[in-house]
Amino acid sequence: MTPAAFRKVALSLSGVHESSHMSHPDFRVGKRVIATLGYPDRGSGMVKLTPMQQSQFIAAYPDVYAPVPGAWGLKGCTRVFLAAASVASLRPALFEAWRNVAPRTVADRRGAKASR
């Protein structure tokens, strides 16, 4: 997966916009970050999951996901190895991150924008 493909999948979720944090792109719903790109290196991304979700994705895709080192990883921040990722392995994780923070008032709870 390329950074452009990661970006496209992230921005396909309802209400998600791209911003920047500490010199790398992030993806937010409102003010809350659901994912980042390019940290700690250009070949990585991060999805903000719960610890339980994190363990499920690592078990299902051990070559794609790993906990972020340190306390953030213990809280569910999950590294994505872009070279091993596919849309099929990334989309569900981004959706869960989105669902964890999307406001209840978002009409399309499925997360996909009307125009794909």
By the 8 A CB rule, do 25 and 109 touch?
no
User: Tokens 């125009």 — which residue?
Assistant: 115
Give residue 110's pLDDT band: very low, low, confident or very high (50, 70, 90): low
pTM for this predicted structure: 0.87
* Whether residue 111 has pLDDT greater than 70: no
Element (H, E) at 37: strand 32-37
**22-63 residue pLDDT tens:** 788 999 999 999 999 998 899 999 999 999 999 999 999 999
Overall CATH class of domain 3-101 = alpha beta
Residue 109: band (very low, low, confident or very high) from pLDDT cuts 50, 70, 90: low
User: Measuring CA to CA, which residue among 7, 15, 35, 6 is closest to residue 111?
Assistant: 15
How much is the pLDDT for 103? 78
| DSSP character string of 43-72 | TEEEEE--HHHHHHHHHH-TTTEEEPSSHH
| Residues 6, 90: Cα–Cα separation, whole Å | 8
Looking at residue 8, what is its pLDDT? 97
Which residues, listed in sequence order, are joined to residue 36 by a DSSP beta bridge? 26, 46
Q: Distance between CA 89 and CA 84 in Å, rounded?
A: 9
Strand 16-21's sheet: what is its strand order? Answer: 16-21, 24-29, 32-37, 44-48, 77-81, 65-67
Query: Tell me: the pLDDT tens digits for 56-104?
Result: 999 999 999 999 999 999 999 999 999 999 999 999 999 999 999 887 7
